[in-house]
Structure 1
Amino acid sequence: MSTSVLMELNAQLDSPDAVAVLAAAWDVFDMATDLCDRITFDEDSDELQAMVATQQCSEGRDRLPLPESGRPVAAPPPGPGAAGLVPYVRLLEHVGDALARLSAAADDETASSLTQVRELASGAAAALTRVRGQ
């Protein structure tokens, strides 16, 4: 599995530029939505948990501003079993951490919105951990 895309998104989530962080978060949600759609009906997947993760990723993406530039990020295919989804779970958790950092410096209305999106990232990460049997 090529992890360069995942590493690049991780680096962008740590950017001091709020616009870059929001764009990376949007890309992570978009990529994770596509990933969850692809694995929903895999033989070793819990369809309900995959759909929950898809829904939360989609909602999180829809609550963020559309990135000003760039192209959609394609998720590299996950490895087998639960371990194959760990990089994506960690990336969603990183989105939550990055949004928490942004919300700490934001006005009340923006902070509230970012907190809601952060909760969606956390919920999506939790559902994704349950998609494949341990």
Structure 2
Amino acid sequence: MSMSACALEQLEDRLGSEDAAVVLATAWDAFRMTTEVCDRITFEEGSDELQAMVAAQKCAEARGLLPLPETGRPVTFLPPTPGTAGLVPYVRLLEHVGGALSGLRGDEAGAHVLARAAELASGAAEALASVREG
């Protein structure tokens, strides 16, 4: 298993945690990692630069809504493999982040922030999915 696949699997597992702090920290990590992925692929031959930048911007905005993780260390990963298939795991991760954030409960203000972060995750997944199409 590649380092990226392993890192993605770790994040996916942690998103299923019962502990809201773990889910929030994992979502923060996933947004950070996906922003970096978008930055790396933006100017690749055959990439839709605008969609990559939109995905990166949405990830960065969503990450900014979440509290800084108190524990853990950043997940290390390799750049995605070429072609549309290389981005699929990252798109899936963002979709999972959106679902996990939607499942968290907060007070009214917190719920609004979580809903917005989940919405941004879905938008970023959609944009990222179209970066290498065509």
Same fold by TM (over 0.5)? yes
Post-superposition offset of 1:73? 2.0
Q: CA deviation digits over 1:16-67, x for unaligned, max 9?
A: 0000000000000000000100000000210000000010000111110000
Map 1:99-114 → 2, pairs under 5 A: 99-102=101-104, 105-114=105-114
What TM-score comes out, normalization by structure 1 length? 0.94
Q: Distance in 2 between matches of 1:84 and 1:38?
A: 13
- Give unpaired runs (5+ residues) of structure 1: none
Q: Is the 8 A contact 1:13 1:25 kept in 2?
A: yes
Mapped to 1, the partners of 2:77 and 2:63 lie a distance apart of 15
Counterpart in 2 of 1:91?
Answer: 93
Distance 2:116 2:99 in 1: 13
Contact 1:14-1:21 within 8 A present in 2 as well: yes
CA-CA distance at 1:80 after TM superposition: 1.6
* CA–CA separation in structure 2 for the residues paired with 1:74 and 1:45: 23
Structure 2: gaps spanning 5 or more residues: none
Opposite residue 63 of structure 1, the aligned amino acid is L
Output the TM-score relative to the length of structure 2: 0.94
Partner of 1:125: 125
Shift of 1:83: 0.9
Q: Does 1:32 align with 2:48?
A: no
Counterpart of 1:55 (choices 54, 57, 65) is: 57
> Once the 2 structures are TM-superposed, how far is the Cα of residue 94 of structure 1 from its aligned partner?
0.3
CA-based RMSD: 1.0
Distance 2:77 2:62 in 1: 17
